[in-house]
Amino acid sequence: MNKQLAGKIALVTGGSSGIGLGAAKELAAQGAQVFITGRRQAELDSAVAEIGPNATGIRADAAVLADLDTVYAQIAKKVGRLDVLFANAGGGDMLALGAITEEHFDRIFGTNVRGVLFTVQKALPLLTNGASVILTSSTTSVQGTASFSVYSASKAAVRNFARSWALDLKGRGIRVNAVSPGPIRTPGLGGLASDDATRQGLFDYLASQVPLGRLGEPSEVGKVVAFLASDSASYINGIELFVDGGMAQV
Q: How far is Cα 87 from Cα 110, in angstroms, rounded to an integer?
A: 14
pLDDT at 133 over 70: yes
Q: Kindly report the backbone phi and psi dihedral angles of residue 191, in degrees, each rounded to the nearest multiple of 5, phi listed first.
A: -70, -10
Task: Please tell me the pTM assigned to this model.
Answer: 0.96
pLDDT band per the 50, 70, 90 thresholds, residue 1: low
Q: Are 10 and 34 in contact (CB under 8 A)?
A: yes
Q: 16 Cβ partners below 8 Å, 6+ apart? A: 36, 37, 38, 39, 40, 43, 44, 46, 47, 57
Q: Choose among 91, 158, 78: nearest CA to 120.
A: 158
Instruction: For the chain, give every domain's residue range.
Output: 9-243
What's the average model confidence in pLDDT over 115-132?
A: 98
Assess contact for 72 and 126: CB atoms under 8 A: yes
The catalytic position among 72, 151, 205, 235 is: 151
Q: Which class does domain 9-243 fall in?
A: alpha beta
Q: How far apart are CA 245 and CA 250, in angstroms?
A: 10
Nearest-angstrom CA–CA distance, 64 and 49: 25
Report pLDDT digits (tens) over 162-201. Answer: 999 999 999 999 999 999 999 999 888 877 777 888 888 8
Task: Convert the pLDDT of each residue in 71-87 to its tens digit.
Answer: 999 999 999 999 999 99
**235: annotated active-site residue:** no
CA-based nearest residue to 135, from 71, 86, 68: 86
Report the percent of the chain where pLDDT is more than 90: 91
